[in-house]
Amino acid sequence: MNMNSTKFFYAFVLGCVFTLLGSGTLLAQPCYGGSCYGGGSIPSNELGVRLGSLTDASSIGGVYSGDAATQIGFLNGIHYKRYQTRGAVRLQLGYTRYNVDQVTDCPNCFRTDGVVQQVMFKAGYEWFTFFGPIEPFAGLDFAVGLGSYEGETFTYGTNPSEFMEYTDVRTKRGFGFAPVAGFRVYVSPYLSIGVETTLEAMLYNRDVTISNLDTENSTIRAQRNQWEAIYHPINWLSMNVLF
């Protein structure tokens, strides 16, 4: 992801937050202390849509792609929260996908085309407090991730006799824990915008299968386990409805 796109995403997030903070008529007190500000019942459930994210997706499919170290996603997840007095049970389901298109070692170039995908499920608990319409929170999630990469590499250079083609299929499955911190800004007692950041500490099992499609038609397969710690600057930017 290029630097201009990253700066645009940060500007978009900060613009949303500062617009809300600077428009007092749009903000509202959250429900607490036995009632909602201005009357009404206390909502105990929250359903949110992940409007966007800025994450490190460079190795989610088991293959490294430096261009995805700051991967921007839009409308790529949902979450549910069940509120208690000063905390909430939280569930998240996120999805990441991007294409890999690389050209190396020219003039006898190698071209790689592939697709990286990951589904991440998290379940945990968060604690929160109130500062007017702003609700900071911190929590801990248990995370389960499933990623995959399917790619094809071939030569298309100046020497046809050295043509080579092979497929690369990888899976990456793991589990771990993810401390999280963020805040919500209430537009009304029943509507908020949330932002959070997280650090994922995961134990992954990687499975790699590389098949050479030339005359030898050989296949190599390998497996290994590996710990990873990945920081996501804006793991979740969401619009939330409380009910």
Domain harbouring 51, CATH code? 2.40.160
Is 116:80 a contact under the CB 8 Å cutoff? Answer: no
Convert the pLDDT of each residue in 39-79 to its tens digit: 556 789 999 999 999 999 998 988 888 888 889 999 999 99
- Looking at per-residue pLDDT, the higher value among 1 and 103 belongs to 103
Q: Cβ contacts of residue 14 below 8 Å, gap of 6+?
A: none
pLDDT at 164 (0 to 100): 76
Q: What are phi and psi of 61, to 5 degrees?
A: -95, 5
Over 80: is that where the pLDDT of 3 sits?
Answer: no
Convert the pLDDT of each residue in 6-43 to its tens digit: 555 555 655 665 555 554 444 555 665 444 544 556 78
Over 70: is that where the pLDDT of 187 sits?
Answer: yes
pLDDT at 41 (0 to 100): 62
Q: Among 9-18, 71-80, 94-103, 212-221, which stretch is predicted with the lowest mean pLDDT?
A: 9-18
Number of domains, the chain: 1
Over 70: is that where the pLDDT of 92 sits?
Answer: yes
Is 76:38 a contact under the CB 8 Å cutoff? Answer: no
Confidence of residue 217 (pLDDT cuts 50, 70, 90): low
- In 3-state terms, what secondary structure has residue 160? helix
- Looking at per-residue pLDDT, the higher value among 115 and 40 belongs to 115
How many angstroms separate the CA atoms of 195 and 163, rounded?
Answer: 49
pTM of this structure: 0.82
Q: Can you give the residue range of the structural domain that contains 59?
A: 3-242
Over 80: is that where the pLDDT of 230 sits?
Answer: yes
Among 107-111, 125-129, 150-154, 215-219, the range with the most confident prediction by mean pLDDT is: 125-129
pLDDT at 29 (0 to 100): 56
Convert the pLDDT of each residue in 128-181 to its tens digit: 998 888 999 999 999 999 999 999 988 765 666 667 788 999 999 999 999 999
Q: For residue 93, which of 40, 149, 47, 154 has the smallest C-alpha distance?
A: 47
